[in-house]
Amino acid sequence: MAPAKPGDAAFANVDHVNAELFTLTYGAMVRQLLTDFEDVEEVNKQLDTMGYNIGIRLIDDFLSKANVTRCSEFRETADVIAKIGFKMFLGVTATVSNWNADFTECSLVLDDNPLVDFVELPETCQGLYYCNVLCGVIRGALEMVSMRTEVKWARDMLRGDDAYELRLKLIEHVAEEYPYKDDD
Amino acid sequence: MRCLYIFNRNGMCLHYHVWLRSLMTLSPQQDQKLMFGMLFSLNSFTAKIDPVSSGKENNPPCSFYSFRTNTYKLHFMETASGIKIILLTDPRIGDLREALMHIYSNIYVEYVVKNPLYSPGQPFRCELFNMALDHYVKTLQ
């Protein structure tokens, strides 16, 4: 028997929903956003914000189930996101690659992307980052563990590229500060 | 069990629950502020005084998980997301690290974080959380 991957245990720990239902619900939501905002750029922004709001809650769910310890460096963080985070919430894993010289920037290449089944971008939505919600989720979750990051799509198969690649950039570690002033 | 505090990373007291506390010398605000301040200082103290792993960035800072006086015992847990859970109990009670983890994973996350009406970072009052917490705490005694 092959040794269990770290993400598998976490995946087994969480409730599952039908993948098609999930994909179609997400699709319906993006569709509604396009109708409501009529502007592709604005929809990208909305998806990112929604993702952020998901991420700041998701982190606690993740920490409580994934059984991981504090990461000592950003490389480890990226690995945990790719192997455990993606597995736990999307059922897929990602590959970490393309590190820059000082290990603050990397790419997450998704091995599979369940959000885009049945999706084709029409002519009018070519600027849309359909899965932009994922960027927000990662950004929000990392912010809750003291890392300010920037997450962008680098390659998107819906836009004609050959893979789904997220570019993850660490801006800074936010140090924990004493939140009260002395005089209040 | 005496009382329970939950703080977020910004020192906001998300929840304060009392079972038994006959003496309260400070106002709730002062009490919570003092508690958070003590934890903050004690945490940085434990990390700075650590004779084994200090100075190396690769090691996560060490932390304490309880202390005891002659009248009570304080149990403490902090998650990577900065949620701090503090439980005051009778001094004779044993190690509650697993119990605090249970409160975090199975009660706080399930009933508060996943509650769509809850806005993150705000204090909460949640009936289901209180019931689950009461129920669980009874099993500990």
Element (H, E) at B135: helix B127-140
- Would the CB atoms of B33 and A180 count as touching at under 8 Å? yes
Q: What is the pLDDT along chain B (141 residues), one digit of tens a residue?
A: 789 999 998 888 999 998 988 888 888 888 999 999 999 889 888 888 887 765 555 456 678 899 999 999 999 999 988 899 999 999 999 999 999 999 999 999 999 999 888 888 889 888 899 999 999 998 987
- Would the CB atoms of A64 and B104 count as touching at under 8 Å? yes
Mind telling me how many Å the CA of B70 is from chain A's nearest CA? Answer: 29
> Residue B90: how many CB atoms within 10 A of its CB?
12
B5 secondary structure, DSSP code: E
Chain B residue with Cα closest to A64: B105
Q: What is the pLDDT, as a whole number, of residue A65?
A: 86
Element (H, E) at B75: strand B73-78
Can you give the residue ranges of every domain in chain B? 3-140
Q: Give CA–CA dist A88/B74, Å, rounded.
A: 34
Q: Give CA–CA dist A24/A42, Å, rounded.
A: 21
CB A108 within 8 A of CB A96: yes
Q: For B105, which of A64, A72, A146 is closest by C-beta distance?
A: A64
A57-71, pLDDT tens digit by residue? 999 999 988 878 777
Mind telling me how many Å the CA of A144 is from chain B's nearest CA? Answer: 5
Q: For A57, which of B79, B105, B113 is closest by C-beta distance?
A: B113
- Would the CB atoms of A64 and B40 count as touching at under 8 Å? no
Chain A residue with Cα closest to B103: A64
A82-104, pLDDT tens digit by residue? 999 999 999 899 999 989 988 89
Most B CBs within 10 Å, among A15, A58, A62, A64, to test the B interface: A64
Mind telling me how many Å the CA of A73 is from chain B's nearest CA? Answer: 7
CB A72 within 8 A of CB B60: yes
Distance from the first to the final alpha carbon of chain B: 8
Can you give the residue ranges of every domain in chain A? 40-173
At CA B87, angle to CA B118 and CA B111, rounded to 5?
25
Most A CBs within 10 Å, among B34, B57, B81, B105, to test the A interface: B81
Quick one: tokens of A156? 């998107």
Tell whether domain B3-140 is in CATH 3.30.450.70.
yes
- Would the CB atoms of B82 and A73 count as touching at under 8 Å? no
A104-155, pLDDT tens digit by residue? 999 999 988 888 888 888 888 888 999 999 999 999 999 999 899 999 999 9
**Residues in chain B within 8 Å Cβ distance of A60:** 79, 81, 83, 104, 108-109, 113
Q: What is the pLDDT, as a whole number, of residue A142?
A: 93
Give residue ranges of A with CB < 8 Å to any B CB: 56-57, 59-61, 63-65, 69-70, 72-73, 144-146, 176, 178-180
Fold that domain A40-173 belongs to in CATH: Muramoyl-pentapeptide Carboxypeptidase; domain 2 (3.30.1380)
Quick one: tokens of A183? 């005089």
- Would the CB atoms of B60 and A70 count as touching at under 8 Å? yes
Binned at pLDDT 50, 70 and 90, residue A3 comes out as: low
